[in-house]
Chain A
Amino acid sequence: MAEPLHALTALGQTIPYTKEIGPYRIIERFDVALASLATRKGRDGEVRAAAAKAGLPLPDPARAASGNPYSAFWVAPDMWMVEADFATHEDIAALLKPLFGEAASITEQTDAWVRFDITAGNLAPLLERLSNVDFPAVPDGYASRTVIEHIGCYLIRRDIGSVVLYGPRSSAKSLFHALEVTARSLL
């Protein structure tokens, strides 16, 4: 068997990058596995039952929900993105498929995205310069597709001082640059 391959983060490093800019902390996450889960036509009940059994939340539209071992956020009608710890769920699609059988379509998405967790006392001044999401007004657990500097992203609000951004992995450097210069402009 061939030697295992090494992994690089979306920002091209061997270890994930963390940047502190004044009160803002931007953390590249490399430890989350991701898969899409879409209900097949007419199989909603089976999917919900299987999800409940597996401890996998299926949040309402525009919402994220945490669970163990799986968390999820809504992305489209009858479709969610499922998160899990990468160390234990690297092949997340293969782990999910047996849970749902032919009731759901499951696709690996881990490396389709770069994830940045951003924290500060109040993220509203930063996010109002990046996204048209009404960040101070939406509730904790809000999840939405949005555009940041022409880049399609998912935004999940944990609380007013904590947000998760998923952006396309190939544009990780451009997205990080936008976060960085915007945070700097607020110092």
Chain B
Amino acid sequence: MSQKNRISGGQIDRSKVLTFTFDGKTYSGHPGDTLASALLANGVRLMGRSFKYHRPRGPISAGSEEPNALVQLRSGARQEPNTRATVAELFDGLDATSQNRWPSLAFDALAINDRLNTFFTAGFYYKTFMWPASFWEKVYEPIIRRAAGLGSLTREEDPDEYDKGFLHCDLLVIGAGPAGLMAALAAGRAGARVILADEDFRFGGRLNAETLSVGGRTGAEWADSVIAELAALPNVRLMLRTTVIGAFDHGIYGAVERVSDHLAVPLEGKPRQTLWRIYSKRALLAGGATERPIAFENNDRPGIMMAGALRTYANRFGVTVGERVAVFTNNEDGLQTARDLVEKGVDVVAVIDARPDGPLLPGIRHLKGAEVVDAAGRLGLKSITIRQANGRTETVEVSALGVSGGWNPNVNISSHHRSKPVWSEALQAFVPGEGGPQGLSAAGAAAGQMSTHAALEGGQKAAIAALAELGISAKADTVPEAEDRPLSITPKWYVNAGKGRAWIDPQNDVTVKDIKLAHKENFTSVEHMKRYTTLGMATDQGKTGNVLGLAIMAGLTGQTIPETGTTIYRPPYTPVAMGTLAGRSRGKEFKPFRLTPSHKWAEEQGAVFVEVGMWLRTQWLPKPGEKHWRESVDREVLATRKSVGICDVTTLGKIDIQGTDAGAFLDKVYCNTFSTLAVGRCRYGLMLREDGMVFDDGTTARMGENEYVMTTTTANAVTVFRHLEYCRQVLWPDMDVQLISTTEAWAQFSVAGPNARKLLEKIVDQDISDSAFPYMAAGNITIGGLRARLFRISFSGELAYEIAVPTRYGDALIRRLVEEGKAFDAVVYGTEALGVMRVEKGHVAGNELNGQSTALNMGLGKMVSKMKDSIGMVLSQREGMNQPDGYRLVGVKPVDPAATLTAGSHFLEKDAKPVIENDGGWLTSKVYSPHLGCDIALGYLKAGDQKIGRRMRAVNLLAKTETEVEIVSPHFFDPEGERLRG
């Protein structure tokens, strides 16, 4: 448990000791540590294995850009793979394991891949798995899938909750380093609504990792003082542990707040993470910069990391990665690592400086014009080989090496709308370009302002400029004093020495050799290079390696780096858990439900429910002793046809249409006429799309001179309403028509069967005899004085009504109908029985209203009035849609009544082969008719109206069924309609 590499200083709380495990071994750390810093403090450099070669790996960074130190956190249902140890906040009892290794991290059997590396070069999938073709699905793909992936899931359900939310601000500041803090301060003091978000668990950015001073205090102290002031401003929202993951349209940014990841288990009721949608008027990217490596042979040894990370571990976490340390740099910033480490008492054995000129560091072995050509130490760095300016090589024992190839401004979010970053020769890096997300600017290192002073000043200026665009005046305060040293960098991308591999993208195991191979094989476009080598396609998205790769490609092609260009930056900036994207919408809360007015009653009866869109409808109501759903459904159908059945039809869309042009409006949206409908009557209507295909159907009643109630199918309730609104607002804005949905306002029940009237007569206050309330009548009635509506319409072919009351009385009405219905052996039936009866009657429904069928196909061609203009009328007259051999709706019966029909079967003539040329049409809806004692179906058959009585085959190649069928009229039941007029 000794933290042998813990050194003095840092922003950790040494008064408290946290214990944690890694691969089952117990270690200790302190609050303020990350998992990576605590492991390094304990002398653990080896934390993972690479994806392809299973190379031993340690962290190369101290931030979210980490490609190597990916571990599994927690266990059981909370196990999370591929978590970056460099940002995992340490807590007491943290349980971490390494991944992508077997049997252990130190000895991994699949490290054999490393020995076979010559086979696993770029594009090896495409070259290796070409033949035989049949092997791909059954042999190659399973093998590759087994070998692929890093961590694992337990497949247990995630027990945590996730939340979502919406925030609004004048200025969103992304990143709380020197630029972000100054920007937030300027905007906050001006009274603007500010959100300051930072992915870290401590505000300050690089100020926490440096020894520099700001305004006479340490950078971290200055950051703390700014945060204290901002926290006191009611117009500023500070969001710690919050990563802005992407820029979306209209100033909207996505942000993930890790609410509970720093705790063993979220507090009761609290989400693990919250996905925020931030609506900003302006945004400022102050996300800093990411250091990049210089590639050299075996540069992936555990213990080799970015020089800035080495400095972060020392200054922020009080950790040295090794006892003997060297630094390899091509720029001035790398030297700061050497200075800081020496100051901390760490033995800096050499600084290898690729730049040939310039002053030497005092008191340190500073080798100018030198480079590191190799590194040794498979499970942890033991030595590096240095080639000095004079060509002489030497091997130096070290346990840690800091590498700095320069810093890349974090341009990702500014490029999320495909703005191309532009190359800065001075910085040897890309900076944000023009045409980024509207309202977004950049400041600090993200904008290429690399000194602390430049960042402080840049942040303030950018905030003032952004607010000025909003008409908010912000004052420029004195920028605190801070270092402002010029950048000195000599480009150095990789060390061209030896035949070994030099890593660019350590997570995906992409090496300099792979880039060279891609070049040789002509995958020179930066996007081709990316896909061919997989550079930047791992979970870190190549934050450390991408620029290196394209710079090397530029060198090979002779193009400049800006000519070579970058690949596309896409959200999310860092990986996001699927649960976070789902938020509260998971499991049974995946979507809201709509409950019918009879739901409570039906639940009490043990009804079986079916999801119809968001509605939960009664599918059937089993009675004691019924073991099969068919028993229940057959009983419901037979009882309805024999006496009376009740069904909740509230889900059908109901649209109230009023206005002096309501009738004329309906004439335009329906293909048949409604303006002539008498008040107190209803009519079946057919609605076409502009292209002449049937859109929806239903009955519409005229309740008053200028008042209609339209009924739609359940499925199309919303789309029809939207369509009508479009017609009203856009097509015919001069018409006097007002619309509103009343679907939810009325509980509506179908009461069908020979005794339907007798049952209703016991309930309603008015005379509803056939003469007083004939077929297709509609009107307002009362039930015990309560306002209600009655429509005499039938979907089942029976004498039937639909009765409606205000929804709050729906529960009472179903109970009243059931109670009064006992005298008639009434049943309540569900959607299955409803479906049986409509097929028996030959009514079209969802399966027939498939968006590809015309009124003519459905046998309703005569409904399309040519006496008036209506949507779809003209195009429904197209020649191709009116061929005599086109599809017609038919009824289908098996020749052998005991045979079964299969929905989706296709019609074939008796001896025809089952090929597309012989396809006669298909069977759309199939039910068992207890009335007829056999399966029956509806179908679309070519020239079906001319084939009534013909015997054909219904063939289903998928289900492997074939049934001899007879084509009949679609009206199986009471074709003359005597019952419904009874």
Listed in ascending order, the chain A residues whose CB lies under 8 Å from chain B are 1-10, 12, 30, 36, 38, 40-42, 79, 91, 94, 102, 105-113, 128-134, 137, 149-151, 168-175, 177-178, 181-182, 184-185, 187
Enumerate 13 A-B pairs (CB-CB under 8 Å) in ascending A order.
A3-B784, A5-B812, A41-B660, A105-B659, A105-B706, A105-B707, A112-B742, A129-B274, A132-B166, A150-B591, A171-B594, A173-B593, A177-B589
Known pairs A2-B764, A134-B279; A107 contacts B805 (CB<8 A): no
Asked if B722 is at the interface (CB within 8 A of a chain A CB), the reply is: no
Asked if B77 is at the interface (CB within 8 A of a chain A CB), the reply is: no
Chain A residues contacting B166 (CB-CB under 8 Å) are 128-129, 131-133
Q: Assess whether B615 is in contact with A170, with CB atoms less than 8 Å apart.
A: yes
Chain B residues contacting A168 (CB-CB under 8 Å) are 594, 744
Closest chain B residue to A77 by CB distance? Answer: B729
Q: Assess whether A111 is in contact with B161, with CB atoms less than 8 Å apart.
A: no
Listed in ascending order, the chain B residues whose CB lies under 8 Å from chain A are 161, 163-168, 193, 269-271, 274, 277, 279, 584-585, 589, 591-596, 599-600, 614-615, 650, 656, 658-661, 706-707, 734-736, 738, 740-747, 762-765, 783-787, 805-813, 816
Closest chain A residue to B813 by CB distance? Answer: A5
Q: Assess whether A169 is in contact with B591, with CB atoms less than 8 Å apart.
A: no
Complex: how many Å from CA A79 to CA B739? Answer: 10
Select one of A7, A106, A173 contacting B809, CB under 8 A: A7
Closest chain A residue to B277 by CB distance? Answer: A132
Q: Assess whether B806 is in contact with A109, with CB atoms less than 8 Å apart.
A: no
Q: Assess whether B807 is in contact with A111, with CB atoms less than 8 Å apart.
A: yes
CB distance from A165 to the nearest CB of B (A): 14
CB distance from B653 to the nearest CB of A (A): 12
Select one of B592, B599, B787 contacting A150, CB under 8 A: B592
Complex: how many Å from CA A1 to CA B270? Answer: 55
Complex: how many Å from CA A2 to CA B589? Answer: 41
Select one of A102, A113, A178, A187 contacting B744, CB under 8 A: A113
CB distance from A94 to the nearest CB of B (A): 8
Question: Binding site of B, secondary structure by majority: helix, strand, loop or mixed?
Answer: mixed
What is the total of A-B residue contacts with beta carbons within 8 Å?
A: 159
Q: Assess whether B745 is in contact with A111, with CB atoms less than 8 Å apart.
A: yes
Chain B residues contacting A184 (CB-CB under 8 Å) are 269
Q: Assess whether B656 is in contact with A107, with CB atoms less than 8 Å apart.
A: yes
Complex: how many Å from CA A90 to CA B599? Answer: 24
Closest chain B residue to A128 by CB distance? Answer: B165
Chain A residues contacting B762 (CB-CB under 8 Å) are 2
CB distance from A31 to the nearest CB of B (A): 11
Complex: how many Å from CA A151 to CA B747? Answer: 20
Q: Assess whether A109 is in contact with B742, with CB atoms less than 8 Å apart.
A: yes
Closest chain A residue to B705 by CB distance? Answer: A102
Select one of B592, B735, B786 contacting A174, CB under 8 A: B592
Q: Assess whether B745 is in contact with A109, with CB atoms less than 8 Å apart.
A: yes
Known pairs A1-B784, A38-B738, A113-B744; A8 contacts B593 (CB<8 A): no
Known pairs A150-B585, A169-B744, A185-B270; A4 contacts B784 (CB<8 A): yes
Ranked 9 nearest A-B pairs via Cβ: A174-B592, A105-B658, A5-B812, A41-B736, A111-B807, A170-B594, A112-B745, A38-B738, A105-B738
Q: Assess whether B584 is in contact with A149, with CB atoms less than 8 Å apart.
A: yes
Complex: how many Å from CA A174 to CA B588? Answer: 10
Chain B residues contacting A175 (CB-CB under 8 Å) are 592
Q: Assess whether A111 is in contact with B812, with CB atoms less than 8 Å apart.
A: no
CB distance from A116 to the nearest CB of B (A): 14
Known pairs A79-B738, A91-B787; A151 contacts B807 (CB<8 A): no
Complex: how many Å from CA A36 to CA B656? Answer: 11
Known pairs A2-B763, A109-B745; A129 contacts B786 (CB<8 A): no
CB distance from B532 to the nearest CB of A (A): 42
CB distance from A147 to the nearest CB of B (A): 10
Q: Assess whether B277 is in contact with A181, with CB atoms less than 8 Å apart.
A: no
Closest chain B residue to A104 by CB distance? Answer: B738
Closest chain A residue to B590 by CB distance? Answer: A150
Chain B residues contacting A7 (CB-CB under 8 Å) are 808-809, 812
Q: Assess whether A5 is in contact with B783, with CB atoms less than 8 Å apart.
A: yes
